[in-house]
Chains A and B, each alone.
Chain A
Amino acid sequence: MMFVRKNKEKIGLGYGIAVSLSAIFFAYLFCSSLVSFLPGDYAQRIVPMMIATPVATSIFGIWFLLSKNNFELVIKTAAISVASFLLFAIGYLF
């Protein structure tokens, strides 16, 4: 647990690649969950989210990068996962 909570002093290539891939994955997850939740026809729901995903990727990437330690990073990814799951569930049920 110490490793997870230890403050980062530098970022390596591995960490950078992991953050980049996570940002892409969570941006797709979050934006596609929003698609299931939004009102309107398929075009109104899908196209805006497709435009927003690259921006979300960049914002998530910076947000993940600026984590003090790995624990904060885990909390952030968990928060997006829970939010996405809730949006999917609401979209599916209603």
Chain B
Amino acid sequence: MKLSKYNFRFLTRAHVVVGLFAVFLFYIATFFGSITMFAPYIKIWESPSRHFDISDKNNSGIDLDAVLKNVIAANNLPTKNIEITFPSYRDNALKVSVENQAVIYVNPNNGSILHTSDESYTVSSFLNELHTGANIPMVGMPLMGLASTAMIFLSIGGVMLFLSARRKAAEKKDRLWWHKYLGLWLLPYIVVFTFTGAFLGLMLSSSSPFALGATNFEESNMRKLVAPIIFKKKMEPKESNSTHDALSIADLKQKASIQYPNLHITTVNLYAYNKDNYEAMFSGYLGDNQSISGRNNRMSITLNGINGDVVKKVHIEDSHIIKRALSAFYFLHFLPDQGAEWRIAFFVFGIVMAICLIAGYLVWSDRKLRSDGIFHHILNKIAIAFFIGVLPATAVLFASNWILRFDMYDRDIWIKGAFYATWAFVLFYAFLEASILNAIRKYLLWFAVLMSSAVLMHAAKNGYFLSGVNIANMSDTVFFVDAGMLLSSLLAMLAYVFIGRFKYIKQYEQRSLEAW
């Protein structure tokens, strides 16, 4: 399919204009989304109560029933429906939760209750907010969804332009080459993240037309129509006062594993715990079908708590087709049960995507350098603060987690405030500094210093500096997060030293200084 000369021109112009709208938003979504890939590990890193390794991955070392009885007695919990989430790479604590009550965390190594009242996952949850746009109330998420929709437009248009463009035998590897080919290689990644991003960001908040269409204009709330179909609530057994001797949770878990061998149990719901109508529902994902048994379509087996008989077994074919479809649809975006290998791979894709977006911006910016329009210069400064300046602001986020006291009033507001203040300062500095190269180098230096300071402060606050024994006992997850942060500082320092040697950067710097 070849576009006519005019259509090629129209589509190119639309690609540029829509691209300029979407590039900043999608860069932010990509940058913070890539870091959010490591959110489960960052959660452990930012919470001192989780700085331990799980000694027994199957949790058979502690008596779960004794722990649970202790938790119920200490917190006066009702026994109608107790949910226990087993430790995993997402959280190494055992989580006990009851509807409308505070969640209790238990150390699975010794059964002690963890003191988490001063802890909140500020860093990891704020990174996710920045990724989804939830940090800007009302408009943030739809705006990110709109940027994802624009990215679908840019991808379809980009492929059409690529197929219609006349190419020379040997193409020069300039910004356009990088933008074109990185974009094409990343098409599957872009499809996964833009489709899910547009659905979650834009469509969920503007679903009224579909609800109206489905109900002949009688109901405008989509959730009211869809949720009862795909998220059916389990009928809980009635409350009973008569207690009964029951099998232990460990025995029930073992029976569930025998009855449902490919079920990887992540959670158990105990209904009417230790009463005569006690039932235990073990749920999780299927080892041989992880994408369809993802976070919103868990498979389960329900056992009678007294004798261990199977009450109900939910297979994939029992779940609603849309539930299965949504599970597969979300799978590559959320990686619900995937470990570090998948997350590192997606992080690398995210970085390549960020480079593709910057290359796309530079294609436009490079041409505009010749004209000395004030709009272009202002946008260039904003672009530097967005693309590179976000690095020191993010490093401040990590460092402030260990600078501020955990029992400080409104701690999360101070941490978020420090992030925004740094980002605002970075933007101010971009306008203050005429040389783009100098500004970029400063940002890289600040990032390296702040990120390594975050590691040092983390070490100092947890006593890793003072004792060799503490370092040896350091949790693997915490160690790797610290190591990753130090590695990113090192890479930033290398970029700081060598960035001035790139011919293109030098030329861009020269031309921008002439135009300024």
- Give A residues with C-beta under 8 Å from B: 7-11, 13, 16, 19-20, 24, 28-29, 31-36, 41-51, 53-55, 57-59, 61-62, 65-66, 68, 88, 91-92
Asked if A50 and B156 sit within 8 Å, CB to CB, the answer is no
A–B pairs, 9, beta carbons within 8 Å? A11-B13, A11-B14, A16-B13, A31-B210, A34-B213, A43-B320, A48-B325, A58-B156, A62-B157
- Give B residues with C-beta under 8 Å from A: 3, 6-7, 9-11, 13-14, 17-18, 145, 148-149, 152-153, 156-157, 160, 194-195, 198-199, 202-204, 206-207, 209-216, 222, 225-226, 229-230, 320-322, 325-326, 329
Which residue in A35, A36, A58 is a CB contact (below 8 Å) of B153?
A58
Which residue in B3, B17, B226 is a CB contact (below 8 Å) of A42?
B226
Top 9 A-B pairs ranked by shortest CB distance?
A32-B213, A54-B198, A58-B153, A35-B213, A32-B209, A42-B225, A54-B149, A43-B322, A50-B203
Give chain A nearest CB distance to B206 CB in angstroms. 8
Asked if B199 and A54 sit within 8 Å, CB to CB, the answer is yes
Complex: how many Å from CA A19 to CA B17?
12
Asked if A41 and B229 sit within 8 Å, CB to CB, the answer is yes
Say what secondary structure dominates the interface of chain A.
helix
Task: Select from chain B the residue with minimum beta-carbon distance to A47.
Answer: B322
Give chain B nearest CB distance to A73 CB in angstroms. 12
Output the residue of A34, A46, A66 with the most chain B CB within 10 A.
Answer: A46
> Which chain B residues border A11 with CB–CB below 8 Å?
10, 13-14
Asked if B214 and A36 sit within 8 Å, CB to CB, the answer is yes
Asked if B10 and A46 sit within 8 Å, CB to CB, the answer is no
Do A8 and B10 contact each other (CB < 8 Å), given the known contacts A43-B320, A54-B198? Answer: yes
Asked if B213 and A33 sit within 8 Å, CB to CB, the answer is yes
> Which chain B residues border A47 with CB–CB below 8 Å?
226, 322, 325-326
> Which chain A residues border B206 with CB–CB below 8 Å?
28
> Which chain B residues border A28 with CB–CB below 8 Å?
206, 209
Complex: how many Å from CA A45 to CA B211?
10
Do A49 and B11 contact each other (CB < 8 Å), given the known contacts A9-B6, A42-B226? Answer: no
Do A46 and B14 contact each other (CB < 8 Å), given the known contacts A51-B203, A62-B157? Answer: no
